[in-house]
Amino acid sequence: MIKAIIFDCFGVLVTDSLDAIINSNDLSEIQRDEIKSYVTAANKGSISVAEYRSEVANILNMEYKDLNSAIKNGEIKDENLLEYIRELKKEYKIGLLSNVTSLDSLKSRFAENELEDNFDVVVASGQIGYAKPEAEAYEITADKLGVFLSECVMIDDREEYVNAAVGIGMKGIVYTGMIDLKKELKDILKP
């Protein structure tokens, strides 16, 4: 029986503007891997946001301030999804698990108390030292929610992260939009 639903932030609740920036550039596989390694290091808290963004800006041949502006201006919060989450919260524990450096980074994208009001638990990978798809990231989130892995659904836009969650016993949904999410979640939540 499902007791908790865990959402990703970027690519689900908020558009992933860094991905859009990367995809709009003609980058080699080596450059993409380099960017991924800097993002992963920042997500685990190994390097600062300033360090990772500086390195990514260099790879993209952009000014640091221009990259920051492009990221900020490209992020759009999905108010309809937040409304749906409020409905789900009446019956389920709701978590947020994001590969991000800090809770402050997440809070900066939401209105005051919006995270606290909509989520029972908010986990930033940089604060726990593990990032999706590492099993520990999911395990810590389920533990904070007070549920077993088998009682959780992980919703993420990245198939690799959903597959990792499923691989350790969670249910999973690759997020492609609200219509598909509601249908897939309804199928999983059926008694």
Domain ranges of the chain: 4-14+76-189, 17-74
| Rounded Cα gap, residues 83 and 90, in angstroms | 12
> Does residue 191 have a cis bond before it (omega within 30 degrees)?
no
Q: Are 165 and 154 in contact (CB under 8 A)?
A: yes
Q: Write down the H helix ranges in the chain.
A: 17-23, 29-43, 49-60, 64-74, 79-88, 103-107, 114-118, 125-128, 135-145, 159-167, 178-189
| Rounded Cα gap, residues 173 and 148, in angstroms | 18
CATH hierarchy code of domain 4-14+76-189? 3.40.50.1000
Cα distances (angstroms) measured from residue 109 to each of 42, 56, 74, 106, 189:
18, 21, 12, 6, 29
| Rounded Cα gap, residues 120 and 12, in angstroms | 18
Per-residue DSSP letter, 151: G
Give CA torsion, residues 8, 77, 60, 103, to 10 deg: -50
At 71, list the tokens.
């990221």
- Each residue's pLDDT expressed in tens, for the chain with a length of 191 residues: 999 999 999 999 999 999 999 999 999 999 999 999 999 999 999 999 999 999 999 999 999 999 999 999 999 999 999 999 999 999 999 999 999 999 998 999 999 999 999 999 999 999 999 999 999 999 999 999 999 999 999 999 999 999 999 999 999 999 999 999 999 999 999 87
